[in-house]
Amino acid sequence: MEIITKNPEETKKIGRTLAKYVKPGDVILLYGALGTGKTTLIQGLAEGLEVNPDIYVTSPTFAIVNLYEGKIPILHLDLYRLESEDIEELGLWEYVSNSVIVIEWADRLSRIYWEDFLEIHMDYLNRQGRVISFVGYGEWSELLKALGKDEELALLL
Ligand SMILES: Nc1ncnc2c1ncn2[C@@H]1O[C@H](COP(=O)(O)OP(=O)(O)OP(=O)(O)O)[C@@H](O)[C@H]1O
Ligand SMILES: [Mg+2]
Residue 54's pLDDT is: 93
| Residue ranges of domains in the chain | 2-154
Residue 43's pLDDT is: 98
Pairing of strands 130-137, 2-5: antiparallel
- From the CA of 121, how far away is ligand 1's center (Å)? 13
Q: How far is CA 138 from CA 26, 27, 142, in A?
A: 11, 11, 8
- From the CA of 10, how far away is ligand 2's center (Å)? 16
Residue 8's pLDDT is: 98
- Phi, psi (deg, nearest 5) at residue 82: -95, 145
Three-class SS state of 154: helix
Residue 96's pLDDT is: 65
Residue 131's pLDDT is: 98
Per-residue confidence in pLDDT tens, the chain, 157 aa: 999 999 999 999 999 999 999 999 999 999 999 999 999 999 999 999 999 999 989 987 777 789 999 999 999 999 998 888 888 888 887 776 889 999 999 999 989 999 999 999 999 999 999 999 999 999 999 999 999 999 998 877 6
Residue 83's pLDDT is: 84
- From the CA of 62, how far away is ligand 2's center (Å)? 13
Helices (H), 29-103: 38-48, 84-89
Q: What is the pTM of this model?
A: 0.95
Residue 97's pLDDT is: 80
Give the integer Cα–Cα distance in Å for 58 and 78.
10
Q: Which ligand 1 atom sits nearest the alpha carbon of residue 7?
A: 1
Task: Please state which architecture CATH assigns to domain 2-154.
Answer: 3-Layer(aba) Sandwich (3.40)
Q: Which ligand 1 atom sits nearest the alpha carbon of residue 58?
A: 17
Nearest CA to ligand 1 atom 16: 37
Q: How far is CA 18 from CA 62, 88, 93, 110, in A?
A: 27, 28, 22, 26
